[in-house]
Amino acid sequence: MALCPCGSEYDFENCCGPIIAGALAPTAEALVRSRYTAFVKHALDHVARTHAPEVRQDFNRAEAERMAAQCEWRGLEIRRATETGDTAEVEFVVRFRRERQDHASVTVSTFRRDQGQWLYVGTKEAPKGVPVRVTKIGPNDPCPCNSGKKAKKCCGTNPAVR
């Protein structure tokens, strides 16, 4: 048996296979995993079927088919899954290769459960990483290596000083 593409370490037939075939996903995380696997397996009817009615018209089938065909799917990482009653939020990373370039897409999607079925409702803005802070050091400032010398006489930009 083949492992499921969703990264769960279970075989496909005991993981996403039944959900893609029409079984109800037990959790929002399981739905995310099955939707990712549907792209890998080109089973996009499952993706369309699991959109909530109010966002179903937003599903671009032609674009989804193009993505499924053009991408080499590299993996799914679930970062966080939070369920509160009949609503859920799942943060995940999808890794893929397209046009000879590696990509990683961080997504936070929202879901709701209607009559036992988890449905995709929408996507929130992906979380931003910690901003990189750059401290500019002037030539007369103390060197950041803590030598006690001025930056221009120590680790400064003059390669001859190094």
For 133-161, what is each residue's pLDDT tens digit?
556 777 787 877 777 788 778 776 544 44
Token duo for residue 2: 């083949």
Residue with tokens 């997504």: 107
| Secondary structure (3-state) at 109 | strand
What is the domain-level CATH number for residue 98? 3.10.450.50
In-domain check, residue 137: no
Separation of alpha carbons 97 and 92, rounded Å: 17
pLDDT value of position 146: 73
DSSP state of 106: E
**18 assigned to some structural domain:** yes
Examine residue 147 and state whether it is found in any structural domain, yes or no.
no
Q: Is residue 6 part of a domain?
A: no
The Cβ of residue 35 has, within 10 Å, a number of other Cβ atoms equal to 25
User: Which range has the worst mean pLDDT, 55-64, 83-92, 105-114, 119-128?
Assistant: 119-128
Rounded to whole angstroms, the Cα distance separating 82 from 96 reads 25
Element (H, E) at 36: helix 28-41
Q: Indicate whether 85 belongs to any domain.
A: yes
Q: Which two tokens stand for residue 138?
A: 């002037």
- pLDDT, position 154: 78
Count of the separate structural domains present in the chain: 1
Please report which confidence band the pLDDT of residue 62 belongs to, taking 50, 70 and 90 as the band edges.
very high
The answer to whether residue 66 sits within a structural domain is yes
The answer as to whether 92 is a domain residue is yes
Instruction: Give a yes or no: residue 105 inside a domain.
Output: yes
Q: Which domain covers residue 94, as residue numbers?
A: 12-124
Contacts of 49 (CB under 8 A, 6+ apart): none
CB-based burial of residue 132 (10 Å sphere; 0-12 exposed, 13-18 middle, 19+ buried)? exposed
More confident residue, 108 or 127: 108
Q: What is the pLDDT of residues 14-59, one digit of tens each?
A: 999 999 999 999 999 999 999 999 999 999 999 999 999 999 999 9
pLDDT of residue 161: 42
